Structures are given as structure tokens and as C-alpha cells.
Amino acid sequence: MNIILLGPPGAGKGTQSQRLVEHHGMRQLSTGDMLRAAVKAGTPIGLKAKAVMERGELVSDAIVSELIDAELTAMGSDVGAIFDGYPRTAAQVEALDEILARHGRDLDHVIELEVDEDALVERISGRYSCANCGANYHDVFNQPVRNGTCDKCGAHEFKRRPDDNEETVRTRMREYRAKTTPILPGYESRGLVSRVDGMASIKEVTAALDDLLN
């Protein structure tokens, strides 16, 4: 099974990917996470991407498609893929089609998380994650069971993203509207698109996705 999770910043792509990994034994391929790892490691890709990401603009199509290709090559062909935040442009849709064909994979679902943009700034400004394992949390909506301790790995260090400020979030949303929403009609005409209400609670969204995938 290979699925794409689409939705604007804060829609819940990362949160739901992590839950699908647990429920369905799939693998999350987040270009955002890959790029943040490259920035942290100071690789040539990271050096190029850092300022672009801090502005909230899109990194080049070639870079993200190479990252996805490399990740698919590294993982076994029997593991399902959740594409989180990729593809985001028409050129990336084309690249992904070519990459999937080369890896002998078919696309099963393109799932759009439908959200109300007004709620997204609140979601994003409350977001943080475990500095050790990357598990996602939120100040109000998704706190760890024990305050200050990661549920997954027990670590006590957390971090916030440098692009999670209001100005950058606005640019990220503009980029989504201008470059990513136009890829939906193409997938629609291939009969691949399903829509899930991303404004429901985290658990309810997961249940809707589980229904779709079972």
C-alpha cells in the first residue's frame, strides 16, 4: 500500500502518519523531516534548504524527489509508504509517478485532510516534538501522559520548529494554495482522491483513515 497525505501546514499529516505507522506497519516518508535532518547535519542539501525553509517557501523539486527516491531504495519493497508532504507541485507529481514505476509500486490513495485555515495557526503555534525520537505533541491538543516526559521514549527534551512563527506559517499556507492544491484535480481524474475531515479530533481522524485503509 502506498498513500499520499495532503493538507496545508498543521493539517495533521505528521501526526496521522505516525499513527498509521503504528497501526499498519507502514513507513512515513516526510520530506520536511528529511530536510530538517539535512539542515541539522549540515549536508550540502541542508545548506541549500535552510534559508528557503525559514522563509516558508518550497525547496527545489529535484532535491525533494531525490530524497524520496533514496529513501524508497533504502527500504524494503514489501513495506507500505506514507508520503507526508510530498508531492507538493505538478513537477513532483510527475517525478513521483516515475519513481514509483521504477520501484514497482502503485499509488493506492491520495488523502486530503480538509481543515479550516483559521485553526491552523493555533495548532502550529502549540506544536512541539521530542528531541530524541521526534514524537509529535501539542500544548493543548496532544500532551504527553506524564508532563515533560515523552510517551514513546521517555526523553525529557523537546523542541519547536524555527518555521513555526506566524509570518512563515502564512507563507507556507500561500505556497500550499498556489502550488499544491492545483495537483488535486489530476489525482481526482485518476480516481485516487479521498477526503477526510481534518477538523475532527486526532483519534477520529485516525479512525477515518483506518476505515479507508482496511
Catalytic residue among 27, 161, 170, 179: 161
Identify the CA nearest to 173 among candidates 32, 50, 11: 11
Verify binding: residue 202, ligand AP5, rule CB under 6 A: yes
Verify binding: residue 192, Zn ion, rule CB under 5 A: no
Alpha helices in 103-165 (DSSP H): 117-125
Verify binding: residue 127, ligand AP5, rule CB under 6 A: yes
Verify binding: residue 28, ligand AP5, rule CB under 6 A: no
Instruction: Determine whether 88 is an active site residue.
Output: yes
Alpha helices in the chain (DSSP H): 13-24, 31-41, 44-55, 61-74, 90-102, 117-125, 166-175, 184-189, 202-213
Verify binding: residue 134, ligand AP5, rule CB under 6 A: no
Provide, rounded to whole angstroms, the least separation between the CB of residue 131 and Zn ion. 8
**Helix, strand, coil percentages, rounded to 5, for the chain:** 50, 15, 35
Q: Which is closer to ligand AP5, CB of 77 or CB of 203? A: 203
Verify binding: residue 19, ligand AP5, rule CB under 6 A: no
Phi, psi (degrees; rounded to nearest 5) at 129: -140, 160
**Residues facing residue 29 across a β-bridge:** 83
Contact between 179 and 60 under an 8 Å Cβ cutoff? The reply is no
- Which residue lies nearest ligand AP5, judged by its C-beta? 32
Q: Which is closer to ligand AP5, CB of 70 or CB of 191? A: 70
Verify binding: residue 18, Zn ion, rule CB under 5 A: no
Active site residues: 13, 88, 127, 161, 172
Contact positions toward Zn ion, by CB under 5 A? 130, 132-133, 135, 150, 152-153, 155
